[in-house]
Structure 1
Amino acid sequence: MTVIVVSGTGTEIGKTVTTAAVAALALAQGRSVAMLKPAQTGVAPGEPGDAGEVTRLAGEAITTLELARFPEPLAPDTAARRAGMAQVRAHEVAEAATKLAASHDLVLVEGAGGLLVRYDDEGTTLADAARLLGAPVLVVASAGLGTLNTTTLTSEALRARGLTPLGVVIGCWPSTPDLASRCNLADLPKAAGTQLLGAIPEGSGALSPADFRSRAGSWMGPELGGVWNSEAFGGREGPEGARS
Structure 2
Amino acid sequence: MTVIVVSGTGTEIGKTVVTAAVAAVATAAGRSVAVLKPAQTGVGPHEAGDADEVLRLSGAASGTELARFPEPLAPATAARRAGMAPVGPAEVAEAARKLAAEHDLVLVEGAGGLLVRFDGEGGTLADAARLLGAPVLVVTPAGLGTLNNTALTAEALRARGIEQLGVVVGSWPDAPDLAARCNLTDLPEAAAAPLLGAVPEGAGALGVEDFRAAAATWLAPALGGTWDAVAFTAAARA
Q: Shift of the alpha carbon at 1:93? A: 0.1
Partner of 2:149: 150
The CA RMSD measured in Å over matched residues stands at 0.5
Partner of 1:75: 74
Partner of 1:141: 140
Identity of aligned residues (%): 73
Partner of 2:64: 65
Q: Secondary structure at the match of 1:31?
A: coil
For structure 1, which runs of at least 5 residues remain unmatched after alignment?
Answer: none
TM norm structure 1: 0.97
1:226 aligns with 2:225: yes
Partner of 2:121: 122
Partner of 2:83: 84
Aligned residues: 238
Partner of 2:52: 52
Q: Secondary structure at the match of 1:194?
A: coil
Q: CA separation in 1, counterparts of 2:61 and 2:85?
A: 27
Partner of 2:4: 4
Q: CA separation in 2, counterparts of 1:95 and 1:52?
A: 21
Q: CA separation in 1, counterparts of 2:234 and 2:27?
A: 30
Q: Shift of the alpha carbon at 1:216? A: 0.4
Q: Shift of the alpha carbon at 1:100? A: 0.2
Q: Shift of the alpha carbon at 1:182? A: 0.1
Partner of 1:165: 164
Q: Shift of the alpha carbon at 1:26? A: 0.3
Partner of 1:194: 193
Partner of 2:41: 41
Could you report, residue by residue, the CA deviation over 1:169-206 in whole angstroms, capped at 9, with x for unpaired residues? 00000000000000000000000000000000000000
Task: Supply the AA of the counterpart residue of 1:5.
Answer: V
Q: Shift of the alpha carbon at 1:35? A: 0.3
Q: Shift of the alpha carbon at 1:62? A: 2.0
For structure 2, which runs of at least 5 residues remain unmatched after alignment?
Answer: none
Partner of 1:112: 111
